[in-house]
Each structure stands twice: as structure tokens, then as C-alpha cells.
């Protein structure tokens, strides 16, 4: 269902809505669409044209997703609460991937043909994520056809490309007059930026996404985890126990993503539990401890019921 992609619209609140506003929206809409309500009118709801039971289920799904900050952060980061993301690579695997597959596939961007002159040359310029963050100047070499003594000749040429901090993977830079020269027509040079796979971060628009693996002890008991940003700034994030049942746990740090003309995007940190094999000499002790924890919860639930 298309409406499920925007749970804020289901509740009729803005993306920046506070928890109090989300709760108030639910308390206002829920009595009108619950199963025993006889006053359901589809035109009274933010999204119209849905059956009563359909809106009731969608509203509850939206409320459960947006009222819990951790799950809401996952949803805002692009992971609907009912879906699990694909397995992530470890830092070692990412480094190996970076060496074996050097260039990260960019979004498909068609060259603006109406802006390029005939006989233009298109080349790729590999860049690191740090170069896109700080900006840099890179030399690129390519082949082009020029007229020498009235005859076309293929030559090698090197030119410099200015990369600003606001450019992104797949960005196109047109250098006028540096393409092929066929007769009296002088073509252009189109440089397309191609970002290397980064071992720690991936770019999503203006945001940076970082995967962090935490030990089982932190997932169960909570603790402080240190995160290093792309500019080597260190953040100490407090993780409260217990770890959510639907991984990953997501924390969002405002203003620590890629640079924009008006500031910076967000740093989205996704925490994954790192499960280590239990040494043989500790298996019995570990099993007894886990059973004690499980039994304690069972007794607590029985006492509550």
C-alpha cells in the first residue's frame, strides 16, 4: 500500500512532530475508526478512501512505529519497522570489497545532452568520500582527437577538476572546449564523479550512515559506545538496555553528515550486536547464567499476571 510509505501522513502530523503531537493524533483518530465505532467517515481522516478496518490497522502500525524513538529513527532512516535490512559487512569485508571492486555504483544520471556540444568526451573521476566531504582538486587524464596540421590526431591530455564539498557521487562537471575537435567543432569534456566504497560510511543524500558492531554485554546491559565521525570527531553515545528486538538500533546525530550550502546533514549510526562463539571452558557457566536470567523474567511475568 502506497500510504504505508508515509506513516506521518497516516496520523496527519508533520515529520518533525513531537511525541505529544503523535499521541494526541492517535487519541483523536483511534476512537473514530476502531472496530466498534459506528461513526466512521473516510473523509474525516488524513488519508481518504480507506475502509474502516484498513485504516484502524494502518493507524496502529503508524503509532507503534512513531511513538518509540529508536524504531522511529529506523523508519526515518529508510527502514520500515516491519522489514529487516540486509546483512551488513564487517570493516574487514568492506576493506576487501574496496580493494576488489574499486568504484561504488552511482545513481543513474543521464548526461544533459542538450548542454554538451557534439564530439564531447565523457570520463569518470574516482573520488574518496573524504574528498567529497572536504573538497579537493584532482588531475584527470584522457584521450581526445585534435587537429594537427589539418589532420586528426589522438592525443593524451591531463586537466584539473575542482571538487567542492557540496558535490555528490554521480555529479557531472562540464569543462568547455576540452573534448574532441572534429573539423571546426570543438567538443566538451564531461567528468562524472564516482565514489570509492568507504570502509566505514555510506552516503545517503546529505546524510552519512555508519554501521557499528557492539558486544552482547552492551546490548543486554547497556553502556557507552564511542563513534568517530568522518572528520575524526568522537561521539560518546549512551545505549540503554535492552537492545531492540528488531535490529538495528538507530541513533541520529544532527549536523554531522555531509556538508551542504546551509550546514550539514545527519550522521545515522546503526548498531548491530556482535555475537562471539563461547569458549568450551565457559559454556556451562554461560548456560547457567542465561538460564537464571530467563527464569528471573519468567517469575517476574508470573508475578505480574
Average per-residue pLDDT for the chain: 80
CB atoms within 10 A of CB 104: 18
Burial class (CB in 10 A: 0-12, 13-18, 19+), 97: middle
Q: How far apart are CA 12 and CA 184, in angstroms?
A: 61
Asked if omega into 242 is within 30° of 0 (cis), the reply is: yes
pLDDT at residue 234, rounded to an integer: 95
| Max CA distance (Å), the chain | 96
Q: What pLDDT sits at residue 239?
A: 87
Report if pTM > 0.85. no
C-alpha torsion sign, points 62, 67, 71, 74: positive
CATH class label, 201-273: mainly beta
CATH 1.10.287.110 range(s) for the chain read 7-77
Mean per-residue pLDDT, 4-9 = 77
Other Cβ atoms within 10 Å of 76 Cβ, number: 17
16-20, 66-70, 229-233: which is most confident? 229-233
As a whole number of angstroms, the distance between CA 154 and CA 293 comes to 74
pLDDT at residue 84, rounded to an integer: 31
The CATH architecture that domain 121-195 belongs to is Sandwich (2.60)
C-alpha cell read off for 234? 568522537
pLDDT digits (tens, 9 = 90+) for 93-120: 333 333 333 333 333 333 444 477 888 8
Cα 187 from chain centre: 38
The residues of the chain that CATH labels 2.60.260.20 are 121-195, 201-273
CATH superfamily of 7-77: DnaJ domain (1.10.287.110)
Amino acid at each position: 500500500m502506497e500510504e504505508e510509505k508515509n506513516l506521518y501522513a497516516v496520523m496527519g502530523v508533520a515529520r518533525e512532530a513531537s511525541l505529544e503531537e503523535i499521541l494526541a493524533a492517535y487519541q483523536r483518530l483511534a476512537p473514530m475508526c476502531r472496530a466498534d465505532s459506528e461513526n466512521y467517515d473516510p473523509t474525516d481522516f488524513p488519508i481518504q478512501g480507506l475502509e474502516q478496518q484498513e485504516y484502524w490497522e494502518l493507524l496502529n502500525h503508524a503509532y507503534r512505529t512513531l511513538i518509540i524513538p529508536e524504531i522511529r529513527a529506523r523508519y526515518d532512516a529508510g527502514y520500515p519497522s516491519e522489514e529487516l535490512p540486509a546483512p551488513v559487512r564487517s570493516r574487514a569485508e568492506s576493506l576487501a570489497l574496496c580493494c576488489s571492486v574499486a568504484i561504488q555504483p552511482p545513481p543513474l544520471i543521464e548526461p544533459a545532452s542538450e548542454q554538451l556540444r557534439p564530439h564531447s568526451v565523457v570520463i569518470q573521476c574516482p573520488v574518496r568520500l573524504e574528498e567529497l566531504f572536504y573538497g579537493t582538486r584532482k588531475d584527470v587524464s584522457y584521450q581526445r582527437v585534435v587537429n594537427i596540421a589539418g589532420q586528426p590526431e589522438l592525443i593524451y591530455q591531463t586537466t584539473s577538476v575542482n571538487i567542492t564539498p557540496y558535490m555528490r557521487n554521480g555529479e557531472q562537471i562540464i569543462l568547455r572546449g576540452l573534448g574532441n575537435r572534429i573539423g571546426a567543432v570543438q567538443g566538451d569534456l564531461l567528468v562524472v564523479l564516482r565514489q570509492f566504497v568507504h570502509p566505514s560510511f555510506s552516503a545517503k543524500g546529505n546524510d552519512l550512515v555508519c554501521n557499528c558492531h557492539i558486544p552482547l554485554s552492551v546490548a543486554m546491559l547497556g553502556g557507552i559506545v564511542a563513534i568517530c565521525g568522518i572528520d575524526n570527531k568522537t561521539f560518546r553515545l549512551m545505549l540503554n538496555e535492552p537492545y531492540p528486538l528488531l535490529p538495528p538500533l538507530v541513533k541520529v546525530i544532527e549536523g554531522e553528515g555531509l556538508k551542504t550550502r546551509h550546514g550539514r546533514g545527519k550522521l545515522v549510526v546503526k548498531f548491530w550486536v556482535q555475537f562471539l562463539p563461547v569458549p568450551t571452558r565457559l559454556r556451562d557457566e554461560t548456560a547457567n547464567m542465561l538460564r537464571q536470567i530467563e527464569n528471573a523474567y519468567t517469575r517476574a511475568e508470573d508475578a505480574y499476571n
